Amino acid sequence: MKKNIAVLAGDGIGPEVVEQALKVIRAVEKKFNHEFSYTPALVGAIAIEKTGNPYPDETHQICMKSDAVLFGAIGDPKYDNDPKAKVRPEQGLLAMRKKLGLYGNVRPVTTFPSLIHKSPLRRELVEGADFIMIRELTGGIYYGEIRGRTEDGTKAFDTNVYSKEEISRVTHMAFEYAMKRRKKLTAVDKANVLATSRLWRETIQETAVEYPEVEVEFLLVDNAAMQIIQCPTKFDVIVTENMFGDILSDEASVITGSMGLLPSASIGTYTSVYEPIHGSYPQGAGKNIANPLATVLSAAMMFESSLGMPDAGKIIRDVVTRSINEGIVTIDIAETGKAYSTSDVGDWLAKNI
Ligand code: IPM
Ligand code: MG
């Protein structure tokens, strides 16, 4: 099969981890006699440096024309420490999500039995945890147009806005995932305080009628934060708004033992984007120590969804599991003194596809 893949490596460790995923993708391409084209494009701080724009139009056009986007990370401490910076790398990410219509961010949280001892939670709490977090990604307080400062600079405001349509489409996505899994949906909101959350609850209740087999539970976000730690195995699919999802998905990601293992897919109207959830990890950039497995697993998700090749996804997952079981892993999850470099892990995976 012929497929076009846009490659947006971005900042920090992005290029290193994406390079390893590309080794694996190329190995799959060869094994199955596919014909893939890879088009690199700029995003993030590197795009600001080269073009002044963190998501240049050229990059957007490349994404629109591709079957899938493989994404590394964005962010640079230079901007984090300068709250007055006019352009920020994160604006590139938000622009990309909006322009590609990526309204659903899907983050599977799964545990690897041989890594459970790395979890900050006790083994018996986290063993068997397996859920999917679906975060609304193009609305809410991240995009509320009414925002800014009063003239004297002493007050600032952001607005949280959701339409029924925005809630409904991501809710349908969540119900569809639940139908393919254990048929349980947890909707997280703050309906005891926020008007937007009450619209979320109302819309989800209406949508639930279309999915009578799915058991729906509503949880307030503070309670959800607690239960993800106390009882992670009770969840199957979680759906929530943009800001709550940002916070809870980081919380959820660490319970498995390593953030360096968790992939994600952002899905919506146009081309889907596949990216590791760990971010740009600037302290690790250029050192050949970053864990490439989250990006490689993101590539597996890409094969399973956008490229329509579930067998290839399975092969990638199997080889990742083998590398973990055999200890061919980077320092974040290796046993003391037995760490492999980022590129060695990538080479091993590609060779074993
Ligand atoms: C994420 C990140 C982004 C977000 C930042 C980098 C803007 O934290 O993808 O979760 O808040 O959405
Ligand atoms: Mg985040």
What string of DSSP letters covers 116-169?
GGGSSS-HHHHTT-EEEEEEE-SSGGGT-SS-EE-TTSS-EE------HHHHHH
Query: Which residue type, as a one-letter code, is found at position 25?
Result: I
340 catalytic per annotation: no
The per-residue pLDDT for 352 is 98
- What is the Cα–Cα distance from 122 to 232, expressed in whole angstroms? 11
- Please, which residues have CB within 8 angstroms of residue 228's CB and are 6 or more apart in sequence? 235, 248, 251, 252, 255
Beta bridge partners of 156: 149
Ligand 2 ion local residues (Cβ < 5 A): 246
| Per-residue model confidence (pLDDT) at position 118 | 87
**Helical H runs in the chain?**
14-31, 45-51, 57-65, 77-80, 89-99, 123-126, 164-180, 195-208, 221-230, 242-254, 293-304, 310-325, 342-351
User: 90: Cβ below 6 Å to ligand 1?
Assistant: yes
User: pLDDT tens across 190-209, in order?
Assistant: 999 999 999 999 999 999 99
Looking from the CA of residue 90, the nearest atom of ligand 1 is: 7
Residue of minimum CA distance from atom 10 in ligand 1: 246
If you search the block for the tokens 């990890």, which residue do you land on? 281
Average pLDDT value for the chain: 96
Instruction: Report pLDDT digits (tens) over 139-148.
Output: 999 999 999 9
Active site residue 103: no
Residue 93 near ligand 1, beta carbon < 6 Å: yes
Residue nearest (by alpha carbon) to ligand 1 atom 4? 246
246 carries an active-site annotation: yes
The two three-digit tokens of residue 12, written as one number: 């920090």
Kindly state if the Cβ of 246 falls inside 6 Å of ligand 1. Answer: yes
250 is catalytic: yes
List the structure tokens of 84.
């007055």
Second CATH level (architecture) for the domain 1-106+262-353? 3-Layer(aba) Sandwich (3.40)
Same fold? 1-106+262-353, 120-135+148-256 = yes
Residue whose tokens read 């899905």: 267
CATH of 120-135+148-256, one of 3.40.50.720, 3.40.718.10, 3.40.30.10, 3.40.228.10: 3.40.718.10
Q: Which atom of ligand 1 sits closest to the CA of residue 137?
A: 12
pLDDT at 156 over 90: yes
Is 251's C-beta closer than 6 angstroms to any atom of ligand 1? no
> What pLDDT score does 191 carry?
98
Q: Please give the number of the atom of ligand 1 that sits closest to the Cα of 75.
A: 6
Domain boundaries, the chain: 1-106+262-353, 120-135+148-256
Ligand nearest to the CA of 71: 1
- Write down the pLDDT at residue 115: 87
What pLDDT does residue 326 have?
95
